[in-house]
Amino acid sequence: MLKHAWIPLVLVVVLAVSGLVVSRLHRMFASEDLNANAGAGIEIVQFNPKILVYDVYGPPGSTAQISYFDPDAKVHHVDATLPWSIRLETTLPTVSANLMALGDGDQIGCRVTVNDIVREEKTANGAKPQTYCLVKSA
């Protein structure tokens, strides 16, 4: 019986010693809390925001029906007196800018500016002019 009893005894001693060593290593390197920042939330830091500016212009006092995409590609409709402008800001890596305007005067123009650089500008003349500006990737 002693011939086979030494194997479990050695196994118990080895497991006890290894458990003690692992416990001391955890205390020494302060790794008992495996995820110290759990529940703290993730802080999103803005980087290089894009400033998108839509402009619609025409004879002062004239009005226009304006449709445009915001940075999340949602369509917005506005009836506005000209000149009209809106400034949008996003941290998305790319944005499609789309602006359409229908005026009640004899001239209308639109402009899309991204980070102070004019990316698209168009004008139209005539009765109830319509114009659009499209920037596929801003």
Q: Is residue 41 part of a domain?
A: no
Q: Where are the alpha helices (DSSP H) in 30-124?
A: none
Q: Is residue 45 part of a domain?
A: no
Share of the chain above pLDDT 70, in %: 85
Asked whether residue 80 falls in the same domain as residue 118, the answer is yes
72, 112, 76, 110: which is closest to 90 by C-alpha? 72
- Range(s) of the domain holding residue 17: 1-32
State pLDDT tens for residues 98-121: 999 999 989 999 999 999 999 999
Q: Is residue 56 part of a domain?
A: yes
Asked whether residue 77 falls in the same domain as residue 117, the answer is yes
- For residue 92, is pLDDT > 80? yes
The enclosing domain of 117 has a CATH number of 2.60.40.2880
State pLDDT tens for residues 20-52: 998 888 777 765 556 666 666 666 665 778 899
Asked whether residue 112 falls in the same domain as residue 78, the answer is yes
What pTM does this model have? 0.65
CA gap 64, 85 in Å, rounded: 12
* Averaged pLDDT of the chain: 87
Strands 107-114 and 84-90: unpaired
Average pLDDT over residues 12-24: 92
Share of the chain above pLDDT 90, in %: 60
* Residue 89 near residue 52 (C-beta atoms within 8 A): yes
Q: Is residue 8 part of a domain?
A: yes
The predicted structure's pLDDT at residue 44: 64
Asked whether residue 28 falls in the same domain as residue 55, the answer is no
Q: Is residue 42 part of a domain?
A: no
